[in-house]
Amino acid sequence: MSRITRTAGRFVCFVMLAGVCLHTVPAFAGTLTTTDADVACSNTDLLQIPGQPPTWSFSAGYASFRNGTPEHFYNGVAYNSAQYGTEPIVWPDPGNILTFTLNTSVNKLGYDLSQVNTYFGHNDSGRRALGIKVEFSKVGADNTFFLLYDMDSAYTAPSNYGKISMTAVPADEATGVKKVRITFEVAPGGVSEIDVFGTATPSMGTVLLIR
């Protein structure tokens, strides 16, 4: 009995220690990739599902939509020759917040988020940097947001045009996603395209128990 008690005690200690360790995990686990001179964006991502357009809101400060509207964020075109006021790109200010609400009229359980790509830049070397934070919320709790990745600094594209890619990993639990929120923390550069990738969250189905 004493051996069993000691074993049980060790198991309890292990569980307690594991719980402590879990609290040391960062608030996000996603990965960040930055790429120079990349304009190879998608026209089949979650923002461009045929017949299922997202809705969007843009808040917290002033931003100008030069020759376009926020729909140009997901028109499948990323520019590498944009000039101020001549291309349909958005010039966000630091603190601007863009929120996409994904269309769940068909996929009612939401989407399993895999990656968010942001294309930006300008032919002026003084406007080639961007720093963003990306968050997501889930179906049924639309306004409770979880962090995918916070750059907390800017990426400067050497060629004046670049891509910021944030990839979700299982630890992010980015499943059943309803909204994707992007905060422009450092934003001197124009943004021409945003791609949101993922797949429809599958239904668990019905399990029949046969005795």
Domain with 190 in it: what CATH number? 2.60.120.260
For residue 23, pLDDT beyond 60: no
Token readout for 29 is 């686990």
pLDDT for residue 86: 64
Segment 26-65, tens digit of pLDDT:
456 789 999 999 999 999 999 999 999 999 988 755 556 6
Segment 124-171, tens digit of pLDDT:
777 789 999 999 999 999 999 999 999 989 999 999 899 999 999 999
pLDDT for residue 182: 95
21 in any annotated domain: no
Tell me how many domains the chain contains: 1
| Per-residue CA distances from 167 to 17, 78, 162, 183 (Å) | 29, 19, 16, 16
205 in any annotated domain: no
For residue 208, pLDDT beyond 50: no
Q: How confident is the model at residue 17 (pLDDT cuts 50, 70, 90)?
A: very low
20 in any annotated domain: no
3-state percent breakdown (helix, strand, coil) of the chain, nearest 5: 15, 40, 45
pLDDT for residue 126: 74
SS3 state at 90 = strand
19 in any annotated domain: no
Full residue range of the structural domain in which residue 179 is found: 28-200
pLDDT for residue 170: 93
Mean pLDDT, all residues of the chain? 81
Between CA 194 and CA 115 the distance in angstroms is 11
211 in any annotated domain: no
Measured between its terminal Cα atoms, the distance across the chain in Å is 37
pLDDT for residue 156: 93
How many CB atoms sit inside 10 A of residue 144's CB?
A: 11
pTM attached to this predicted model? 0.81
Segment 182-202, tens digit of pLDDT:
999 988 778 999 999 999 999
92 in any annotated domain: yes
Between CA 70 and CA 75 the distance in angstroms is 9
User: Position 157: which residue type?
Assistant: A
76 in any annotated domain: yes
pLDDT for residue 184: 92
206 in any annotated domain: no
For residues 153, 156, 161, 165, the Cα torsion angle rounded to the nearest 10 degrees is -40
The H-assigned helical ranges of the chain are 2-22
